[in-house]
């Protein structure tokens, strides 16, 4: 199958989170959602650029991604004919970094190819599940009561595991309280790099709480310290920010820096790199799960497809549309039942995108034609 990208349209639309979301580096109420549409042979490939508004999670931001996409990537890829999704980025292989910007284009191409072949994105990438276990990521709350109320409502909604954001001072006692209130709920913690090895006593105390895993306790580039910490703890360490490629995965495995990886296709440069990380972790006999970046339904659809692969054996940060938005941009919206989300079976991402609303509410648009 060969496709020619005739047109690419990039749009930014504001979308307000139903709830303020806070992590160790700061909080957010409003997202700047960046959506890409690739047109080929009468088909539309949809994807989302997941870069955040500020460079705290990664060095990329909404504006750096917009810059790289509009100045360098999109002008080079329109008019080109490609034989498989990964080919779409061949003309811009010289671009260093900017994986979230690149991932948006690559993922749009995967949706296009799946649609052209009349198969779901899940089956196009080797998915084997028709529904995936899902969890929820709970932000830092003003106090322990507010946290317990939030956790109780997500437990009520049936999520398969609860991830709780932590930072120094909002960690051991806070999680012990949640553990006591919900003794049977699978709980994990995500520090977004808020600790160093100097905090070893606190990290050892976390180790005694029976957590499923501790996500990204240390700096994003500190593979050696993560290896030292993993050797000192029995709780598995899950790496998020540290892993941007299969090479990073290789290094983490060699050093023993983690036992789990949170794969976000945007962070690693696309679905192709995600599949390579998945394969490497399967070879190591270790689990992966699909993370989230507070995406709209477009990004979520890609995440659900990825999570349908066999090695994605742990619940992902893939929550119901209404956990994030009053109204999602896709139809049908994503819902959670019995702790699972159904993998769409229609062609490509398998959900309809509300183009009229996106056009009506976009604050900027950039269009490229061959
Ligand atoms: O560290 O996993 C993270 C959101 C934005 C940036 C980083 C992270 C997160 C989340 C939320 O934890 C995941 C989601 O529900 O989309
Ligand atoms: Mg994380």
* Nearest ligand atom owner, CA of 50: 1
Compute how many other C-beta atoms are within 10 angstroms of the C-beta atom of residue 198.
8
| Ligand 1, residues at Cβ distance < 6 Å | 57, 137, 190, 192, 240, 291-294, 317, 319
The one catalytic residue among 115, 141, 165, 167: 165
Angle at 38 between CA 84 and CA 346, to 5 degrees: 75
From 55, 194, 291, 300, the mutation candidate for ligand 1 (largest count of ligand atoms within 8 A of CB) is 291
Ligand 2 centroid–CA 263 distance in Å is 10
pLDDT tens digits, residue range 315-335?
999 999 999 999 999 999 999
Q: Is 115 a catalytic residue?
A: no
Q: Compute CA distances 189 → 7, 119, 194, 213, 265, whole Å.
A: 42, 36, 12, 7, 21
Ligand 1 centroid–CA 96 distance in Å is 24
Ligand 1 centroid–CA 223 distance in Å is 21
From the CA of 192, give the closest atom in ligand 1: 1
From the CA of 323, give the closest atom in ligand 1: 15
In this prediction, residues 15-43 reach a mean pLDDT of 97
Ligand 2 centroid–CA 317 distance in Å is 9
pLDDT reported for residue 319? 98
Mean per-residue pLDDT over the chain, rounded: 98
Confidence category of residue 303, pLDDT binned at 50, 70, 90: very high
CA distance 278 to 345: 22
H helix or E strand, kind and range, residue 231: helix 223-232
Omega of the bond leading into 332 within 30 degrees of 0 (cis) = yes
* Nearest ligand atom owner, CA of 24: 1
CA distance 200 to 211: 16
Confidence category of residue 206, pLDDT binned at 50, 70, 90: very high
**All domains of the chain, ordered by start, with CATH?**
3-118+355-369 (3.30.390.10), 123-342 (3.20.20.120)
CA distance 298 to 295: 7
> Which residue is closest in CA terms to ligand 1's atom 7?
293
The one catalytic residue among 115, 141, 163, 264: 264
Q: Is 165 a catalytic residue?
A: yes
In this prediction, residues 74-96 reach a mean pLDDT of 97
Ligand 2 centroid–CA 194 distance in Å is 11
pLDDT tens digits, residue range 255-292?
999 999 999 999 999 999 999 999 999 999 999 999 99
Q: Is the pLDDT of residue 1 over 90?
A: no
Ligand 1 centroid–CA 281 distance in Å is 21
From 49, 292, 325, the mutation candidate for ligand 1 (largest count of ligand atoms within 8 A of CB) is 292
Residue 88 makes CB contacts below 8 A (sequence gap 6+) with: 5, 77, 80, 82, 105, 106, 108, 109
| Burial letters 137-153, b for 16+ CB under 10 A, else e | bbbbbeebeebbebbee
From the CA of 294, give the closest atom in ligand 1: 16
CA distance 99 to 60: 8
* 29 exposure class (CB count in 10 Å sphere: 0-12, 13-18, 19+): exposed
pLDDT reported for residue 61? 98
In this prediction, residues 340-350 reach a mean pLDDT of 98
CA torsion sign for 15, 308, 289, 58 is negative
From 239, 293, 298, the mutation candidate for ligand 1 (largest count of ligand atoms within 8 A of CB) is 293
> Which residue is closest in CA terms to ligand 1's atom 8?
293
| Burial letters 2-20, b for 16+ CB under 10 A, else e | ebebebbbbbbbebebeee
CA distance 314 to 212: 10
Q: Is the pLDDT of residue 144 over 90?
A: yes
Tokens 């090695």: give the residue. 311
* Nearest ligand atom owner, CA of 164: 1
pLDDT tens digits, residue range 232-260?
999 999 999 999 999 999 999 999 999 99
């Amino acid at each position: 199958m060969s496709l020619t990208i005739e047109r690419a349209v990039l749009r930014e639309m504001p979308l307000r989170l139903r709830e303020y979301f806070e992590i160790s580096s700061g909080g957010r109420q409003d997202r700047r959602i960046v959506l890409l549409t690739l047109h080929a042979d009468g088909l539309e490939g949809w994807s989302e650029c997941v870069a955040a508004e500020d460079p705290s999670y990664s060095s990329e931001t909404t504006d750096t991604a917009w810059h790289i996409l509009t100045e360098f990537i999109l002008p080079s890829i329109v008019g080109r004919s490609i034989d498989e999704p990964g080919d779409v980025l061949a003309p811009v292989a010289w671009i260093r970094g900017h994986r979230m910007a690149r991932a948006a284009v690559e993922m749009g191409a995967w949706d296009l190819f799946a649609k052209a072949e009349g198969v779901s994105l899940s089956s196009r990438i080797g998915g084997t599940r028709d529904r995936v276990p899902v969890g929820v990521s709970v932000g830092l709350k003003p106090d322990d009561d507010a946290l317990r109320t939030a956790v109780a409502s997500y437990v009520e909604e049936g999520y398969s595991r609860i991830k709780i954001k932590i930072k120094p001072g909002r960690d051991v006692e806070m999680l012990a309280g949640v553990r006591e209130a919900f003794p049977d709920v699978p709980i994990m913690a995500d520090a977004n790099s808020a600790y160093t090895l100097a905090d070893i006593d606190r990290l050892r105390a976390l180790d005694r709480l029976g957590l499923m895993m501790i996500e990204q306790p240390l700096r994003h580039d500190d593979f050696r310290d993560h290896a030292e910490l993993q050797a000192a703890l029995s709780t598995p360490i899950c790496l998020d920010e540290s892993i941007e490629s299969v090479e990073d995965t290789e290094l983490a495995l060699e050093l023993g820096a983690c036992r789990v990886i949170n794969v976000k296709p945007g962070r690693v440069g696309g679905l192709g790199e995600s599949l390579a990380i998945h394969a490497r972790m399967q070879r190591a006999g270790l689990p992966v799960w699909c993370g989230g970046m507070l995406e709209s339904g477009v990004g979520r659809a890609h995440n659900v497809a990825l999570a349908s692969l066999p090695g994605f054996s742990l619940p992902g940060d893939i929550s119901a549309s209404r956990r994030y938005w009053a109204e999602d941009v896709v139809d049908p919206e994503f819902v959670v039942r019995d702790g699972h989300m159904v993998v769409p079976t229609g062609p490509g991402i398998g959900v309809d995108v509300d183009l009229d609303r996106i056009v009506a509410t976009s604050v900027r648009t950039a269009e490229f034609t061959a």
